Amino acid sequence: MPKKRELNEYSVDPAAQQMLARAEELGLETAFSRADKMVPCNIGSAGMCCKQCGMGPCRLTKSGEVGVCGATLDTIQARNLARSIAAGAAAHSDHGRDMAFLLKAVANEETEGYSIRDVAKLRIVAAKYDIPIEGRSPQEIANDLADLYISQFGQQRGEVAPVRRAPIKRQRIWQERGVGPRGVDREIVETLHRTHIGDDQDAEHILEHAVRTALSDGWGGSMIATDISDILFGTPAPLLGRANLGVIRANMVNVVVHGHEPSLSEMIVAASQDPEIIAYAKAAGAAGVNLSGICCTANEILMRQGIPAAGNFLQQELAIMTGAVEAMVVDVQCIMQALVGLAANFHTQIITTSPKVRIKGATHIQFDEHHALTIARTILKSAIDNYKNRDAAKTRIPDAQEDLIPGFSHEYINYMLGGSYRASFRPLNDAIMSGRIRGVAAIVGCNNPRSTHDYLHDKVTTELLKQDVLVVQTGCGAIASAKIGLMLGEAGLDQVGPGLREICETVGIPPVLHMGSCVDNTRILTVLTQMVEEGGLGDDIDQIPAVGLAPEWMSEKALSIAAYCVASGAYVIFGGSSPVSGMPDRVDDSDIVLKHISAGWEKAYGGKLEFIPDVDEMIRRALAHIDQKRAALGLPEYDPAKFGASGDGKMLALESLPIEQKRAALYGAGA
């Protein structure tokens, strides 16, 4: 029987716990309580159900059993995983396509409210593809870049252009294995074709095409999305932000933007600062309009505009539960259908905006880049009109928020490490080579109500920091760290290892760097490539002492990210359950799929994917991998005792000592 959990088993975030207590008080359901009631299907969750044709669904539960067509468990698992990767790639890359069309429209001056904010990035990106830049206007360059990028999605033959940004050795590996990605549209269609009844029936062969599909996302659609977001809205640089439900304001009209696209949310930010809108809000009795975000739309406007994040994926319902949200404006991806039913218990309007996403019962105000600012104003006025319907007696805003410094684009990290005249990754490579930084971990991805909200993110992050591992984050994982103060300049440094602390103090960075939304995992690929190009850490990504983790994954997008990171050379560890775990008591030789995505992919690409439910084991394997890569490079063995004897860290450690001991420690005995 499903069991209800204690509040602290639902979430480690006190703000979330308060809202979950409120849900119980009001008798309202959330994803947390629905997860308790909905026991996952153990056949489907292990990838053992095939529903690709009308002869099934075939559920394979015994060793050696096959489907009606004769499909084996391995074939079925590989098909299911490949289809999930294709769906994830589609979500990221279709967003990238929309950004490319937006860039084209902006270049042709057909839009309202947009401009090319980062001309320098436009020129740098265009030059990578040999688009002429000298003596040309930003619009002319943007027009050519938009045409090139639009053409990438349907490229039929040959690798997509951004692939040339990968290390040379990596490109050769892909070519030799025949997985150099063509356009994402072609790769996804081919995945669907190959996994249709009666097609590709060799699990490993299916999984190789899954790799190609994921690469067309990571080094194609997603990379394009990041480039264009930066060109149109500005490349992120550090600024001050805030995170958690306490950013919702009792005396203001609260508008929460949720989803993944910066195109409309950037216009809502602009419109919210319009004196006419502010006056309209004041006339309605509010102090103004307060914007905040959920999920990756939050990350997009947090890192560029400093707009606060109300929370990550599992906090979307909890934001409504505050009773103080006039409108939740959603675009695409990770939007729970339950929002509309929940909002009916309050006064919150759910406003859908994408031509691709409608929810029964929601208000639809369709986004159109030609009138974006006008639409943003309409949405804000609708929210302001709704302010009078707020029931103050039903309002509960948790007093919980934390400051953070987001905005660590790869361009900024480069500049920050080297300075404006000699931007370089040299100091980072040197710190890894000396052992001050043991290695790098990208801790990314979702929340999942099957595990305690934020617990795995927080645990893995804090433990790796203690071990001198520099952490970079995107997506909902980034918001988790922000909420516990790990992205706050030097404030979190008492929680990190001595060598890493020295580096953070010297460079002036937080120990956890917020690198953006989930499509911005491509920024991490760029950082890894630049570390290779800088020298000293091998000649390809798979040699760097680095690891990727998605401790609370749940979306198909995460699987696409995992596959393209593995194919780029990274060891990727997922927490929670494996979608290809198969039968626990399997007696035949196999588990071909599990072996292929770990040992098989490691042999082919130097990276591997593993699903590890135990958090301590996740951390142990991440550190073992980093140490093994250090040893392979001939770097000194990690030794925490070697560093941390200078700088603020030492002063902090000495603070509590009596003055004589402090003097002796600083100047030697007899001083």
Q: Residue numbers of the site for ligand BF8 (CB under 6 A)?
A: 260, 295-296, 313, 334, 445-446, 475-476, 517-518, 555, 557-558
User: Smallest gap, in angstroms, from Cβ of residue 357 to ligand BF8?
Assistant: 14
Q: In whole angstroms, what is the distance from residue 554 CA to residue 260 CA?
A: 16
Which is closer to ligand BF8, CB of 15 or CB of 295? 295
Which is closer to ligand BF8, CB of 133 or CB of 524? 524
User: Smallest gap, in angstroms, from Cβ of residue 475 to ligand BF8?
Assistant: 3
User: Smallest gap, in angstroms, from Cβ of residue 553 to ligand BF8?
Assistant: 7
User: Smallest gap, in angstroms, from Cβ of residue 84 to ligand BF8?
Assistant: 12
User: Smallest gap, in angstroms, from Cβ of residue 199 to ligand BF8?
Assistant: 29
DSSP state of 345: T
The C-alpha angle with vertex 212 and arms to 206 and 216, in degrees rounded to 5, equals 145
User: Smallest gap, in angstroms, from Cβ of residue 312 to ligand BF8?
Assistant: 6
Which is closer to ligand BF8, CB of 286 or CB of 334? 334
User: Hey, what are 319's tokens?
Assistant: 């934001």
Among the listed residues 32, 44, 47, 34, the one whose alpha carbon sits nearest the alpha carbon of residue 451: 32
Give phi and psi for 489, each to the nearest 5: 50, -130
User: Hey, what are 462's tokens?
Assistant: 């804090």
User: Smallest gap, in angstroms, from Cβ of residue 331 to ligand BF8?
Assistant: 11
The C-alpha angle with vertex 81 and arms to 78 and 84, in degrees rounded to 5, equals 150
Q: Where are the alpha helices (DSSP H) in 239-315?
A: 262-272, 275-283, 295-305
Q: In whole angstroms, what is the distance from residue 372 CA to residue 385 CA?
A: 20
CA-CA-CA-CA torsion sign (518, 521, 522, 523): positive
Which is closer to ligand BF8, CB of 296 or CB of 380? 296
Which is closer to ligand BF8, CB of 143 or CB of 292? 292
The C-alpha angle with vertex 64 and arms to 58 and 66, in degrees rounded to 5, equals 25
Which is closer to ligand BF8, CB of 470 or CB of 479? 479
User: Hey, what are 218's tokens?
Assistant: 């990571």
CA atoms lying within 13 Å on the CB side of residue 111: 23
Which is closer to ligand BF8, CB of 186 or CB of 457? 457
User: Smallest gap, in angstroms, from Cβ of residue 556 to ligand BF8?
Assistant: 8
Q: In whole angstroms, what is the distance from residue 111 CA to residue 449 CA?
A: 40
Q: For 592-597, which contacts have Cβ atoms below 8 Å and span 24 or more sequence positions?
A: 592/74, 592/78, 592/203, 592/204, 593/47, 593/74, 593/77, 593/78, 593/81, 593/203, 593/207, 596/78, 596/203, 596/204, 596/207, 597/81, 597/207, 597/566
Q: In whole angstroms, what is the distance from residue 482 CA to residue 515 CA?
A: 12
Q: In whole angstroms, what is the distance from residue 160 CA to residue 395 CA?
A: 51
Which is closer to ligand BF8, CB of 75 or CB of 481? 481
Which is closer to ligand BF8, CB of 116 or CB of 332? 332
Q: In whole angstroms, what is the distance from residue 636 CA to residue 648 CA?
A: 25
Residues 6 or more apart whose CB falls under 8 angstroms from that of 589 comprise none
Question: Terminus-to-terminus CA distance in the chain, angstroms?
Answer: 69
Q: Is 374 exposed, middle or buried (0-12, 13-18, 19+ CB in 10 A)?
A: middle
User: Smallest gap, in angstroms, from Cβ of residue 557 to ligand BF8?
Assistant: 5
User: Smallest gap, in angstroms, from Cβ of residue 558 to ligand BF8?
Assistant: 6
Which is closer to ligand BF8, CB of 258 or CB of 436? 258
User: Smallest gap, in angstroms, from Cβ of residue 560 to ligand BF8?
Assistant: 10
Which is closer to ligand BF8, CB of 126 or CB of 329? 329
